[in-house]
Amino acid sequence: MNTDLKALELLFQRPLEPVFTTRDNGKTVFDLPESVYTDRYRNNTEEVSNRFSQNVETRIPVRELAKKPNLEFAAKLGHKKQFSLFINSHKEIASKLIQLFLDAPNLQQFVALAAYTKDRVNPVLFQYCYAVTIAHRPDTRTVPIPNISQVFPSNFIEPSVFQDARQEASVIAKSGNRSALEIPANYTASDREDEQRLAYFREDIGVNSHHWHWHLVYPASGPMEVVNKDRRGELFYYMHHQLLARYNVERFCNNLKRTIPLSNLRDEIPEGYFPKILSSINNRTYPARISNQLLRDVDRPDGNIEISELERWRDRVLAAIDQGFVENSQGTRIPLDEVKGIDILGNIIEASNTLSVNNQFYGNLHNQGHTIISFAHDPDARHLEDFGVMGDVTTAMRDPIFYRWHGFIDSVFNKHKALLPVYDNAQLGFDGVSVTYVEARLGAANARPNTLLTYWQKSSANLAAGLDFGPVEDENITATFRHLQNAPFTYTFNVTNAGARRTGTCRIFICPKVDERNQPLRLEEQRLMAIEMDKFTVELMPGENTIRRESTDSSVAIPFERSFRAVGANYQPKAADELARFRFCGCGWPQHLLLPKGKPEGMQFDLFVMISDYTNDSVQQLSNTPNDACSTAFSFCGLKDKLYPDRRTMGFPFDRRLPNDTLNEFVGAFSNMAKTDITIKFNDRVVG
């Protein structure tokens, strides 16, 4: 066993406990040099060491640091303060800490540095910077990054469950004899609140974990080698665009109209939100936002932001889109063309310090919008309240206002897209290729074609690794929860190739047909809510080809087990190929929400399939190394350490205006496309 790699894995566990306490269910402890102990325990090192070394199976030695780091820069963020990637001062601290970790000269010194740092900086700051470093250091690529819901479960789960968990663990000694605890559904509001119909989506553990992990893989600030990734700005646009498309379609499924973009920050916000979850850091609840709240300028010790600043940045970005170019800090004009324009805008709007062409002029629109909303309840800190859920990437998607704010951000990107030329026949067509049949069918023997099924499923998560100061021997403290699930299905397409053998890219989308009032949607409306389901290459032989693809192989989603996997060696596969898949970067849409909910009576969608010419899609990678397990959800997350594997713009062909009035006309004009009606039926019962 490589003890250094094992040590790095264990530093994710019990994030609020001192580094000298036991880990791995009480089986392992670190042998620490005295310098690692903080001043609080410096005079009691022998006592605490002896206490936590009893009955352990493994002692992992941690080496002395060659040079102790100066951590004064991190002291501005106190141990019990909330950490936010949207607050400039916090981002600057995180950037410095990530650089410090990356600069460790070898694995042994990185372990020593992480152990030394853990108890001296804010715990959430540490976990974020530590995870980013693990994902980006060449010598730590095999260390699995646990799901954030396993590390800080209180960010995801109703608080009373933890009281029950500690009681169950204290009273029932053996984990196998314990009752599973139940996380209540719909605990944030009653059915008098219409927005609560979407709680199953907004408060889903997998959805919020995905958002956290995407920002972990694509941080907006930090060292250049961490931030500067291929088409990063475009990925920011597209991942959030797809989130919004999925959310609006889910609203139709629940007879609600599309979310209204938050384009005026001076209007009252009618949507209140009372999250009822605890901050892991200070054991306080995340503050609520009352209905009809007015936003105000933020004037707090850790930063000031005025609404007028956001309005000024907004106007400058919109003016740049109208002009068709942005200006860098030297005054050089950079065109917002159809290839690079969306990537440039993505980095400007998310205000990536190292990638924005002119951070001073175009500002920090997206992040500071989150900040102003998150402090709506206490903008001047007179009540000493911290930010609400909109200030934290692990919790922001729980709040209905997240989708209104991103509805506005998406409208800015869509303004740029609307000014680009309409796709022409050469870009859309694939001569000699015809899609003649399209079907999606459940696996049951008597299943009807093109009728898909969703239902509720009860699943479980293990809280033990994140239950700080709980019983150390516990391998299993189980909590059950209800979530939406879809029955697996198979796509079948018949494709005729009139030419020689060639390669194509199969692109699958579903588009809503009607709105919440059952009124037909125009093609432009369908385009903006087209949900990407899958994308993969196909080899087309001359003549007839039958293509089959399982829904569980989607390029968008990651399997359920990766969203809710347990922490620790006992839960990792032993086979090498399975272990490689397990050690996945964790980035991807949760498979259990691949399909929209649909309706009990059935809800119709257009299933759209396109085979595009791979010679126009292919990307010459910089290395020939095989794709690692992170390739499975590349549509939202790209490929680890590689270029984005599709030369077309993300969302093609629905990312730009189309040359037809209806989807039927569009598909009818190109033989390499086809569509069929599918029905998604929701069965309101719980399985499992």
- Cβ atoms of 127 and 13 closer than 8 Å: no
Instruction: In whole angstroms, give the CA distance from residue 577 to residue 582.
Output: 9
Residue reference for tokens 């927005």: 195
User: If we measure between CA atoms, which residue out of 349, 333, 325, 343 comes closest to residue 412?
Assistant: 349
- Cβ atoms of 178 and 478 closer than 8 Å: yes
Active site residue 350: yes
Q: 17: how many CB neighbours lie within 10 A of its CB? A: 18
Per the DSSP assignment, residues forming a β-bridge with 520 are: 514
Backbone angles phi, psi at 436, to 5 degrees: -105, -15
Instruction: In whole angstroms, give the CA distance from residue 315 to residue 320.
Output: 9
Instruction: In whole angstroms, give the CA distance from residue 455 to residue 457.
Output: 7
Instruction: In whole angstroms, give the CA distance from residue 660 to residue 59.
Output: 68
Show the tokens assigned to 213. Answer: 């992990």
Residue reference for tokens 């809503």: 512
Per the DSSP assignment, residues forming a β-bridge with 437 are: 494
Q: 213: how many CB neighbours lie within 10 A of its CB? A: 26
Residue reference for tokens 């924005």: 356
DSSP 243-292: HHHHHHHHHHHTT-PPPPP---TTS-B---B----B-TTTSPBPPPB-TT
DSSP 317-336: HHHHHHHTEEE-TT--EEE-
The CA distances from residue 231 to 236, 387, 495, 553, 589, in Å, are: 9, 31, 31, 24, 19
Cβ-based neighbours of 80, under 8 Å, separated by 6 or more: 281, 282
Q: 149: how many CB neighbours lie within 10 A of its CB? A: 23
* 195, 234, 271, 350: the active-site residue: 350
The CA distances from residue 564 to 15, 24, 202, 218, 321, in Å, are: 18, 18, 17, 21, 41
Instruction: In whole angstroms, give the CA distance from residue 607 to residue 435.
Output: 13
Question: For 477, how many CA atoms within 13 A lie in the half-sphere containing its CB?
Answer: 28
Cβ-based neighbours of 292, under 8 Å, separated by 6 or more: 268, 269, 270, 272
- As a whole number of Å, the end-to-end CA separation of the chain is 37
The CA distances from residue 434 to 22, 87, 653, 670, in Å, are: 62, 51, 17, 8
User: If we measure between CA atoms, which residue out of 150, 148, 123 comes closest to residue 464?
Assistant: 150
Tell me which residues are annotated as active site: 350
